[in-house]
Structure 1
């Protein structure tokens, strides 16, 4: 079955290098300047053409959660199916469940008893440790470290090299919906919904 990568930007092209060794690949774009071109040797088609194709699954290569939601809804409204893209170096332990649309880049790991929501992105060298619950449209940038007993709500973005301290079974660390954790931040306490935090230890960004 053909894999259509929605979004031929930098991340999409990184994913194509994983996917092309596993199956046929297409890019999908809404930008007129990209449609009809070849990027990394892969054709870029319009969404209208995607709707006419059979035997195709989609993953969405857009980090922004709100845009990813919109594109996913657009596909769902047309009955387009979602796939999963997983690098051959990805590792997955026992008791792990993953919902549709997940992307797992090279050297990523889900260790044990982890629940992952829809349209999750795990970029290179990121991991989710034991007993974590991850919501929908969550993005882990490269080397994001999610330690055990952590709850991450929907639409959270975790920046490159960020580290989340391990919670406990009776008091898991909780990252609120729509929060943004900055590059290299060290999170030791719960993060409120919509908050932007940076630093070590992580604190709300002064605006």
Structure 2
């Protein structure tokens, strides 16, 4: 009985990650029919050449091990699904593009997605289920929590600390902090698309613009 691998989510994020997962599974000699999507609301049985299963079907499928990478951009949803997977004995696995770079003393927690042209330089600590989308980078001496999401093109400069479930929008720039005095992005904060963050962002707020400022009501993620 062989292992069964899945990308959890068959919408845009999941479809973008699946080719990376397929490349990785091919290197592990995993048959293509043992790499599937999990999606309870897809309304299709196949997407881009891969079976689509409900979660119940996935955990019922005979397998020596079941592994899932959660390709859902919202960190709060990702956390809830990670707990669900854990409760059913589904193991996390990391999907990393060949065209990504991890340099010296970089530690990334389980279940990450590291997309193409992402660079993580040196002395970096990143928590569980991190998403680093296309062309993002993390510079030296950064500490990033669990379930953090980087949209494409995020520029995270050195000495930055990011709390759990923060969302950093496409093209956002996080100014470099100082040793012992990092720039801080609070837990659950949202940094809008293209924002330039020059000072600490409190937990749970949304900031936008250049320089980034508090958005008083609502706000869309980029």
TM bracket (short chain): over 0.9
Question: Is 1:46 matched with 2:54?
Answer: yes
Taking the aligned partners of 1:101 and 1:170, their CA distance within structure 2 comes to 29
Matches within 5 A, 1:75-94: 75-94=85-104
| Partner SS, residue 72 of structure 2 | coil
**What SS does the aligned partner of 1:97 have?**
strand
Matched, 1:133 2:143: yes
* Residue aligning to 2:121: 111
Q: Distance in 2 between matches of 1:176 and 1:136?
A: 12
Q: Secondary structure at 1:200's aligned position in 2? A: coil
For residue 30 of structure 1, report the CA deviation from its aligned partner.
1.5
Write out the 4+ residue segments of structure 1 that deviate beyond 4 Å after TM superposition: none
Deviation at 1:170, TM superposition (A): 2.2
Task: Give, in whole Å, the separation in 2 of the partners of 1:19 and 1:206.
Answer: 39
State yes or no: 1:195 paired with 2:197: no
Query: Contact 2:39–2:55 (CA<8 Å) still a contact in 1?
Result: yes
| 2:169 equivalent to 1:159 | yes
What 5-or-longer segments of structure 1 have no aligned partner?
none
- Are residue 22 (structure 1) and residue 24 (structure 2) matched? yes
For 2:204 and 2:150, the matched residues in 1 are separated by: 16
Q: CA deviation at 1:2?
A: 4.1
Query: TM-score of the superposition, structure 2-length normalised?
Result: 0.89
Distance 2:69 2:10 in 1: 11
Partner of residue 190 from structure 2, selected from 180, 183, 192: 180
1:26–1:123 CA distance, 2 compared to 1 (3 A): same
Q: Which 5+ residue runs of structure 2 have no aligned equivalent? A: 26-31, 218-222
Aligned mates of 1:86, 1:32 — CA distance in 2: 25
